[in-house]
Amino acid sequence: MVDDFATLHRIIIHQQEQYTMYTRQSLILLATFSAVLFFLHPQPPALPTKAHAHTLPYHTVKSPHKKAKAPKDWWRDKVFYQIFPRSFRDSDGDGIGDIKGILQKLDYLKTSKQGKGLGITGLWLTPIFASPSYHGYDVTNYRKLNPLYGNRKIFKALLDNAHKRGIRVVLDLMVNHTSKKHPWFVKSAKSRTSPYREWYVWRDTNPGWTQPWGKWPVWHRAGAQFYYGIFWSGMPDLNLAHPPTKNEMFSIASYWLQQGIDGYRLDAARHLFANGPGEGQNDQPQTHTFWQAFHKNMKKTAPKSLMLGEVWAPTKALKTYCRKDEFDLLFHFPLAKAIQMAVSAMEAKPIWKVIKASIPTHCWATFLSNHDQVRWATRLMGQTKMLRMGAWLLMTLPGTPFIYYGEELGMTNGPQKGDPGKRTPMPWDASAKGGFTTGTPWTQLAPHKQANVATQQKDPSSLQQLYRKLIHWRHRLIALRRGTLKRITLAKDVKGRDAVVAFSRVYKKGTHQQTVWMLLNLNDEATGTFKLTLPTTRRVKRLLKEGNTVYNVRSEPQKNRNTLTLRLGAQSGVLLQLF
């Protein structure tokens, strides 16, 4: 039952099944249906070896030459990669991914050689603390690593080698709740006079509240009383109004920052306090007060640490957390939903609607899918061209992009029901075990004949190679990382204009200006030919092209302008720089 409830814990999105042949009309229906589902809710240190352990095939990275000091908001210049450690790479043949496995594969993410590797500059690791579950979101000891994943020495080696590559490392931290098996809760539940009683929320009667996103109860019986756990009975909520509890969570946050990590992804950030049923369990004033104090504590310990929030909420609620004294970044769930709708329905409108009402772009943490959701490629039924459109949007829109492991391969859900199907082992090659382990994988791999690293690295036109190119340009162009966004509007008579996402990204600092244009046709039909005007002082350079896109520039000095003529092929696009 644990996995069933854990599925509910991470907010239910049912796995889509039995895809068949479809028409363009059915894709539009899919967009609407999926959107509803979506929103529910030097030499490194010597490493210890285990029996049958592999030799570590990673390269030691020498300290880089002196570079400019990283800005305070360094995360705006990064591309993050989310790793579910259990499923990324098994180093010792026990069938379970581990920290050493991540270390072995750092060269895949980013090497010391220019232009090699995927180009990843940030890692988000889902929970690695002691836990009785496969997912780790129910912690039993916040200061202890899960022994299945490794020990402190291995973790230190991972941090050191990641940092030498310019990769920052962020950990998942569950402040909202613990495991029912955590010693704190075990002591709390023993008696009403326990010194840990007030570390959790107790009451004599059950008020009958249910989850704000569903009908499952949030008050759970233990003896003669009831305790509060918004996700399920196995994860009781902490009482963060109790000073010893709050102070201990602050101390834990400081502890791992002092070990050298670069920040936290904070789970279930909107649910810390509950003042009543329904919406009384979301976004309460005390929640904001707590996060402001938490922010102050983090920045005191590590002034440049990242505070990243999971606030799974509509834009109006999301905005309230985008403050200088709260979160640095927030996962932009409304935008992720809009990108899916736009790509599936082949129209740009959903994206512009969300952007118009959006939070300030400096808060955006953008993504296509994560460990709680049906995988991006599954939702799009493995349609390669649509997957490519999503990659273009993710890497060119404002915000700090996050890639869920395997997403760059077009990795789909596995055959398992619920959350395990979203978190299957990473396929490094096309073999039965996908190069993930020499033993028996902890769970079955998703289909990976084509969706594997070895195959796609050999194919210059693969989805993985597209991601590498887009990431390269994002690192090269400050306009794509920090530039303002302005929509480029096509004339009303242009065929297919509603399916075109077109915008400029402009970065200005002093006398320096960098301008980039991105034009992307989401439609499965080509656009008509259209024209855009430029000052005569501007010239155009093509940086990257997708599909059958044709353009030319004609100088018209008598009109003091240049004319850019374009025709975007079906599901095609172009990235241009203006000089």
Strands 122-125 and 80-83, sheet pairing: parallel
CA 40 – CA 216 distance, rounded (Å):
14
Contact of 47 with 89, CB cutoff 8 Å:
no
Please give the residue that has the higher pLDDT: either 319 or 24: 319
Structure tokens at 502: 């077109």
CA 359 – CA 348 distance, rounded (Å):
19
H/E stretch holding 27 reads: helix 24-39
H/E stretch holding 504 reads: strand 500-509
Tokens 């979203």 found at: 422
pLDDT in tens, 457-469: 999 999 999 999 9
Q: What single string gives the DSSP state of each residue in 217-268?
A: BSEEEETTEEEE-SS-TTSPBB-TTSHHHHHHHHHHHHHHHHTT--EEEETT
Which band of pLDDT confidence, cut at 50, 70 and 90, is reported for residue 506? very high
Q: What single string gives the DSSP state of each residue in 530-561?
A: EEEEEETT--EEEEEEESSEEEEEEEEGGGTE
Statement: residue 446 has pLDDT above 60? yes
* Mean pLDDT of the 98-122 span: 87
Please, which residues have CB within 8 angstroms of residue 413's CB and are 6 or more apart in sequence? 15, 374, 375, 378, 421, 422, 424, 446
CA 525 – CA 505 distance, rounded (Å):
26
pLDDT in tens, 40-49: 343 333 333 3
CA 203 – CA 275 distance, rounded (Å):
13
Please give the residue that has the higher pLDDT: either 69 or 429: 429
Tell me what pLDDT residue 492 has. Answer: 95
CA 124 – CA 298 distance, rounded (Å):
17
pLDDT in tens, 355-366: 999 988 999 999
CA distances from 264 to 158, 325, 373, 493, 512 (A): 16, 15, 20, 48, 34
Tell me what pLDDT residue 5 has. Answer: 38
Statement: residue 104 has pLDDT above 50? yes
pLDDT in tens, 252-297: 999 999 999 999 999 999 999 999 999 999 999 999 999 999 999 9
Structure tokens at 169: 């490392």
Could you give the residue ranges of the DSSP H alpha helices within 279-358?
Answer: 285-301, 315-319, 333-345, 349-356
* Mean pLDDT of the 381-391 span: 97
Secondary structure tally for the chain: helices H, strands E: 16, 21
CA 573 – CA 503 distance, rounded (Å):
12
Active site residues: 267, 310
Strands 549-556 and 225-228, sheet pairing: unpaired
At residue 278, the 3 state secondary structure works out as helix
Q: Look at the alpha carbons of 314, 319, 325, 331 in this order and tell me if their dihedral is positive or negative.
A: positive
